[in-house]
Amino acid sequence: MHRLRRIVAAAIVACPGALLAQDPVPPADSVAADSVRTDSSSTERLLAVEGQSLIRLRAMPRVQLADVQPRAARVVLTRDSLDWAAARTVAEVIAGHAPVYLWRGGWRVRPELPNLLGRGAASVEYLVDGRPWMPIGPDSLAVDPSLWSLEFFERIEIERDPARLRVFLYTRSHDRLAPRTEIAVSTGDRGLARYLGAFERRYASGVGLSMAADYTGVNAPQGGTGGASVTNGWLQLSYRPTPRLGAQLQVMVQAPERDALLASETASDTLDPGLEGTRTDAELRLSLQPVSGSTGLRADAWVARTAWRGDTADQTIGTVGTVVGYRRPTWSADLQALHHTEWTPLSTRLALGWTPGGLLAAAVEGAYQQHEEDRTSEWATARVGIEVPRGTRLPLGLSLPVGLRVGGSVSHGERVEAPSIASLAAASFTDYELSAAIDAGWLSGEARWLSTDAWQALPYRAFASVASFARQPRTEWVTASARFAPNNWFSVASHYEHPLGGATPDGVPPHHAWTTATVNSRFLRNFPSGIFRLKVQGVLETWSPGVIGRDGEDNPIELPGLTFVRGIIQLQIGPFSAFWDRVNFQATRQGHVPGYPILSLGSSYGIRWEFTN
């Protein structure tokens, strides 16, 4: 099966090659043709493609929902940030920018599930191109973000509520006349193999074609269990004949094959039951945008079908939905309405945002959902932020030497955390957050105080040894982040979270910090064109002892305190880049969850080549 998927991925990469073999029509030129005939016109083709890469065409716009927000409400990562992040998966992107503890089920291709402030399996919500990505299959509680191919997305936004994350993922949208091709190959310890091929093309008529395949596989340790692989496929056809109208057909496929992970060679206790099947998400979207491109009425509607086919479960969920919004320079209003054929027949959200001037921004969002078994969820979240930028003029002709920002949010209501569990009732909550930040250019920092309501977190299916969590009482938290960048090529950044007062909730350590030190330079004195780039980065993750959860007899499972060190070297020369990534420099066998070891001194390295032709 693995060999078949590699052949399929190679075929997808090879198909564009047949299209690219055709010579483009040379542009008109006022100078007479060369009187000396040659057999090669590679220079002319190269110049033609370079010219095409500067021609911007109309692509499908992003689905916008609650865009007007206080600046601290969302972390926005564009493609360049994703290319140079200390991350190989979407889960690691989240862990590097949000106060979550990442439950790792081992090394590459094993589960990576974020736990936000002890809220458990359903503490993170995901949307792909504006549509909720629902958990389905053997695990109907949590989406595993490590299964996505990070290369399929051009933008990731992480929205922070006091006790919940919402992650917006936007697929690539090619907007140039020149086609784009990308290939990547990686290898490493335990037989790690990764192959990626992608092709994107947009025509002057408004037709767009994008397709990609990504395979990653790793063997089980010698004499052990836990081999795994995942194949991702993506196909997108779009048509935008006018600035106002557009249509898009998109299919995304995930095919994981995770073998069961046992406690040891001799013990038959199952740590991870494994996962095998195929998830297919097919979507047809219609889009209406304002003529101005930024203000006015916009609307998106889609019909989607999500299916899981595997040995243990066969499920299908249909979705019909729309997002209608109106944007003005100082305010916005968005309404989302969805119908799902399973678990949640009706889901609605109304979001309002207002920013009367450069200093103040406020947003409020309300949600109402109807679930099966006569259950409902309804809640509202309000945010406000006041920001005074660095350099603001003060009396007596002075300017503010640092930027200042203060803000707050509150979320109140009741929510059914997992609608797929028919016996699970709605739980009420009231969560608060206050924040303050300072920005001096070379030094910036933010502190947040949070109060999260009592909550019963849901366990993770992939971590069978942790059967449950103790009920979490109302808990106060402090989180802090800082960045020190004395120049444009060196920086140190860190974020930290810690509960105040009583005992720490199950599932997260009492003290947890994620720190990166980065040298990232283009060596512009030697390479003034900017064609060269080098990044050397160290990642330090550390936590104190705590309780990861409860076993089948409700006994606490101790989480030892540990420190993990990771190193990454990445080199770019024009469209070509190469990397080397080593985890667990201290060679400890204990992982993020007791009983789930991480590979000692695990290394991976590879190349990526992105070009237009």
Tens of pLDDT along 460-473?
Answer: 999 999 999 999 99
Residue 54 vs residue 92, higher pLDDT: 92
**Structure tokens of 563?**
């420190």
What DSSP element (H or E) covers 112? Answer: strand 112-116
Q: For 176-195, what is the mean pLDDT?
A: 95
Q: Could you tell me whether strands 131-132 and 124-128 are parallel, antiparallel, or unpaired per DSSP bridges?
A: antiparallel
pLDDT bucket at 553, cuts 50 / 70 / 90: very high
Report pLDDT for 268: 67
pLDDT number for residue 40: 52
pTM as predicted: 0.90
pLDDT at 501 (0 to 100)? 81
- Is the pLDDT at 34 greater than 70? The verdict is no
As a whole-number percent, the residues of the chain with pLDDT over 90 amount to 75
Confidence of residue 451 (pLDDT cuts 50, 70, 90): very high
Is pLDDT at 65 greater than 80 in this prediction? Answer: yes
pLDDT band at 216 (very low <50, low <70, confident <90, very high): very high
> pLDDT-based confidence at 12, cuts 50/70/90?
very low
Is there a contact between 349 and 378 (Cβ–Cβ < 8 Å)? no
Task: Give 125-161 pLDDT, tens digit per residue.
Answer: 999 999 999 999 999 999 999 999 999 999 999 999 9
Residue 439's pLDDT is what?
A: 95
Provide the mean pLDDT of the chain. Answer: 89
Which one has a higher pLDDT value, 122 or 326? 326
Are 227 and 220 within 8 A, CB to CB? yes
Specify whether the CB–CB gap between 555 and 68 falls below 8 A: no
Above 60 in pLDDT, residue 9?
no
pLDDT in the model for residue 603: 95
| Better-scored residue on pLDDT, 613 or 465 | 465
Beta strand residue intervals within 375-511, DSSP E: 375-388, 403-415, 427-439, 443-452, 475-484, 490-500
pLDDT band at 269 (very low <50, low <70, confident <90, very high): confident
Q: If you average pLDDT over residues 444-458, what whole number do you get? A: 96
Strand, coil or helix: what is 2? helix
Q: Measure the CA–CA gap between 535 and 529, rounded to whole angstroms.
A: 17
Query: Beta strand 314-327 with 296-310: parallel, antiparallel or unpaired?
Result: antiparallel
Q: Residue 66 pLDDT > 90, yes or no?
A: no
Ranges of H-type helices in 295-366: none
Least confidently predicted of 257-266, 383-392, 534-543: 257-266
Please report the pLDDT score of residue 225 as a whole number.
Answer: 87
The mean per-residue pLDDT over the stretch 362-369 comes to 97
Q: How confident is the model at residue 14 (pLDDT cuts 50, 70, 90)?
A: very low
Predicted pLDDT of residue 25: 36
Nearest to 592 by CA among 463, 457, 459: 463
Other Cβ atoms within 10 Å of 574 Cβ, number: 13
Q: Which residues contact 228 (CB under 8 A, 6 or more apart)?
A: 108, 109, 110, 217, 218, 256, 257, 258, 259
Q: What is the pLDDT of residue 26?
A: 40
What per-residue confidence (pLDDT) applies to 33? Answer: 40
Of all residues in the chain, the percent with pLDDT exceeding 70 is: 92
Q: Which of 74, 105, 82 is nearest to 262 (CA)?
A: 105
- Do 558 and 544 form a contact (C-beta atoms < 8 A)? no
41 pLDDT tier (thresholds 50, 70, 90)? low
| pLDDT for res 38 | 44
Mean pLDDT score, 535-553: 96
pLDDT at res. 357 = 77
- Evaluate if residue 165 carries a pLDDT over 50: yes
Q: What is the mean pLDDT of residues 246-261?
A: 96
